[in-house]
Amino acid sequence: MTEDEIQTEELSMRELSDEGVRELLESEPYGVLSMCDDGVPYGIPMSFGYHDGDVYFEFGTVEGGRKFGVLETNPVAALTVYALDRSRWGDSTANLLPTGFAWASIVVTGKIEEVENPSEDVRDAVFEARQPSPANPWGGSMAETELSFHKMDVDTAEGRVAGGGNPAED
């Protein structure tokens, strides 16, 4: 194989395996939650926890909050999670991705619903995802902040990767 062929192979984009999708959901605690607000896209950065094949969020608000109204009208949403291995571009402080790739991204879709009494395992997964975090990222005092847990019942989870080899497929 020529050097050009090796570089093309390392940088080619391909589908991420189910195991790779699970690894990324377990290792990357942040993503962008996208919803549709009366035909207008609405995306917000969110931390999340992954437990037993479902995605969990802790929603907080001081005064209602747009996401609550949007999800009440249309509870189907998408979560985009991505990771870059910046060490491949000279950033010596970057961690290697668990997938072994230069970058990986996934899109998870499903219906979001409130969870009244989440298990301790679910709470732990969500709390771990948002560490370290400001005491109250929603503004106002904690006494004024309403917190609720929500679950995305995963319908689809697909991803793409580029660069390196996928140890889950070896």
Which percentage of the chain shows pLDDT scores above 70?
66
Calpha distance 28→48 (Å, rounded): 9
Structure tokens at 136: 């109250």
Q: Assess if residue 23 is contained within a domain.
A: yes
Q: What is the CATH number of the domain that holds 83?
A: 2.30.110.10
Helical (H) or strand (E) element with 140: none
Domain around 31: 3-165
Q: Assess if residue 121 is contained within a domain.
A: yes
Q: Assess if residue 170 is contained within a domain.
A: no
Confidence of residue 151 (pLDDT cuts 50, 70, 90): very high
pLDDT at 70 over 80: yes
pLDDT mean over 59-69: 74
Q: Assess if residue 57 is contained within a domain.
A: yes
Summarize pLDDT for 12-33 with one digit per residue, the tens.
778 988 998 998 898 888 899 9
**Residue 93 confidence (pLDDT):** 46
Cis bond before residue 132 (omega within 30° of 0): yes
Q: Assess if residue 28 is contained within a domain.
A: yes
Domain count for the chain, please give it: 1
Helix (H, G, I), strand (E, B) or coil at 135: coil
Calpha distance 146→166 (Å, rounded): 41
Structure tokens at 18: 């189910």
